[in-house]
A and B are shown apart, each in its own frame.
Chain A
């Protein structure tokens, strides 16, 4: 069967690269959710859209699962291959198809790297706003699949807010044009629906992105606080003052200490929280915004406020935030990053809870996160070589996500559900809502060949995980397939 499929894919004109040897498939066995691995049955690397249509049609005709992969930087396991499936790798499809500087749009293939879009736009004074921390490597197709955000999304929005249209192939191999070159399209907003659908509703082959004018000025501040509560209060005060900074990032003591050891930034030894704020826009408004933010930080009890005087100093201030994850790798051999969003006012409460949950598990946790939009990223440290630590870390992560739900938040702000958070989906959504998600998937992919088993749990798995009663050691309705 798989040889027959491989021959069919190789017969596509012009032929895509088809890989079936385990040795060549091994590098694709995981994305950035490295604790899970699976070698695919086959990998195929098209270099043009016409091949994608034929690949999906061939798989659809045979009922073979298709997992789409871009740069493989996703950290929830969305691009982990299927054992009996084809891994469709789009990294060779990275062309710029059209650029309209006046209309401020670019049409790109899904394998184009995020940062390249901004580089292409730069000569026209434009940029592509979403900037996930992996932007040097991650590709636009994956950004659409995950509705990627970044450190500047408080002001500039997520991928959804910065794209106009996508071309995608649905689970029956049909070509869909979703959205349009205009600001809207007739009918249901299927472009919004496919954005963030984690490869479940279509294989994206073209993306029309919106480009924004590069701000004339940027100011960056870093403030130290004696408590997380004061830093959180400052965040609320800034937003309450009618200002939307481009970025508002926070780091807690564990992260500060790791950064100090690793980068020696010279922050007050007693700092419990660092707040990094960036404002941008026109020259005059940015100057005024800087003064306002500075006064709020000081009024809220900042023990030190540093303002970058030039781009070199700005890079230095950002180094603590962007280098934090590297610094954290020095704390313990392994760490695991959580991605929940909470109402911002709950921040001090949630962090207290996170620390005590970690203490109960005997694990260390550090926090570095997007404070402006309440998207927290607790990092759980463990040592995979110590038996049971990974499992305890994952269990702690699960409890933190449930805490996010309990305070009115969500289990994923930007990393996606993938395979990582399927279990918590069952807590965030009720069975009828999960069923509605499956209905949506069936509309695009009736045979469920696109990234099956990711993003949305089966109802059976939910009942299995949550409160399903097991009597006398027997699983109820053992005849139902559980996968």
Chain B
């Protein structure tokens, strides 16, 4: 890890953190020194390899404001995701997008920068959907705030949501506000013996009915469906759907979210196919694990990137080399030229020196 930054930064008074960060980014921009934004280093595997001098965000941590009745939480970006979740759980609330951690040190800033959402995503919404506001330091060293700390806000372009999933290439996230939701009082996981095409169809049919669905995943001939809500809602839906109640349902969803199921352990390249939820199966030479009621399908193994991307795109989706593998063919689905143009202009505007997380998302 390079340079003068880390010690002074970590030891400094937290009230000076953002001005110092701005100053550091400004000087780095002048010197064209690339910066690598680092929270808990739990998502270094994702996207292009991190390069540059580390900017340690883990020390800028803590909950700034949390009023459960407002359904709004504001937190410093370096706060551990586990800490945020514990604070919410104490008030029987949650981040409804059920973010994966991928390691103990996961921070809330990294969670938003990566834009990951867990099994609840198709039924509750994505990380982007729950971000209400973001304070950032852009590549010019400016301290900027977008969005706000209220649920309903349409003033100005939605830059805080633009930051979600941008992998830190447009700005260093420093503070984030979220809409939070009550934790469902009850939940149950039901298992059904079905083959993949029927499982996808069934999950979509149920999603079109007023059922308290909160997850639906298929693997090796079994469709697992999670119901969450009021006791009475879960009970009534369980009676209606039938199936076998799983005793270790909670562990299953957590292991799926964290990629700890045996499926993910092969040490092979992991592809993520994002597809229309009801899309017909995309044949692959290796087994698939289907999550998000059909919207997110995982394939583990060596695959031809070009051919895979062509078949996924034809079905209306896109493919990401999520973990491992040969990244030289691009981790993320190539952008249409018109969109690439806008991406480059936004990058140029927010980070003219091109120093923030260079190469993590695309070649800029």
Contacts and interface: CB of A to CB of B under 8 A. Distances in A.
Interface residues of A, number: 98
B158 A287 contact: no
Contacts of A174: 338, 341
Interface string B115-147: 100000110011011000000001000111110
A417 B155 contact: yes
Contact of B68 (A192, A240, A342, A437): A240
Most central of B210, B275, B338 by chain A CB within 10 Å = B210
B10 interface: no
Given A240-B69, A243-B182, A284-B233, A184 B361 contact: no
A190 B296 contact: no
Contacts of B207: 104, 213
B153 A124 contact: no
Contacts of B185: 242
Contact of B148 (A154, A180, A345, A410): A410
Interface in B68-97: 68-72, 92
A376 to B, nearest CB: 10
Interface stretch (A10-18, A21-29, A145-153, A219-227): A145-153
Interface in B329-363: 332-336, 338-339, 341-343, 345-346, 349-350, 361-362
Given A285-B232, A288-B232, A196 B157 contact: yes
Interface in A79-108: 100-105
A373 B181 CA distance: 13
A216 B240 CA distance: 14
A282 B339 contact: no
A193 interface: yes
A440 interface: yes
B212 A416 contact: no
A195 interface: yes
B150 interface: yes
A119 interface: no
A157 B129 contact: yes
Contacts of B125: 157, 161
B277 A149 contact: no
B150 A411 contact: no
A125 B276 contact: no
Contacts of A37: none
A102 to B, nearest CB: 5
A27 B144 CA distance: 41
B362 A187 contact: yes
A456 B67 contact: no
Contacts of B115: 184, 189
Given A125-B209, A174-B338, A189 B292 contact: no
A124 B201 CA distance: 15
Contacts of B334: 186
A177 interface: yes
A437 B151 contact: no
Contact of B201 (A102, A341, A416): A102
Interface stretch (B11-19, B255-263, B312-320): B312-320
B142 A186 contact: no
B152 interface: yes
Most central of A282, A288, A373, A374 by chain B CB within 10 Å = A282
A243 B229 CA distance: 10
B226 interface: no
B214 to A, nearest CB: 13
Interface of A: 100-105, 124-126, 146-147, 149, 153-154, 157-158, 160-161, 170, 174-178, 180-190, 192-193, 195-197, 200-201, 213-216, 236-237, 239-240, 242-244, 281-285, 287-289, 341-345, 370, 373-375, 408-417, 421, 425, 428-430, 432-433, 436-437, 439-444, 446, 455-456
Please give me the 6 A-B residue pairs with the lowest Cβ-Cβ distance, nearest first: A285-B233, A439-B349, A103-B278, A242-B182, A181-B316, A443-B345
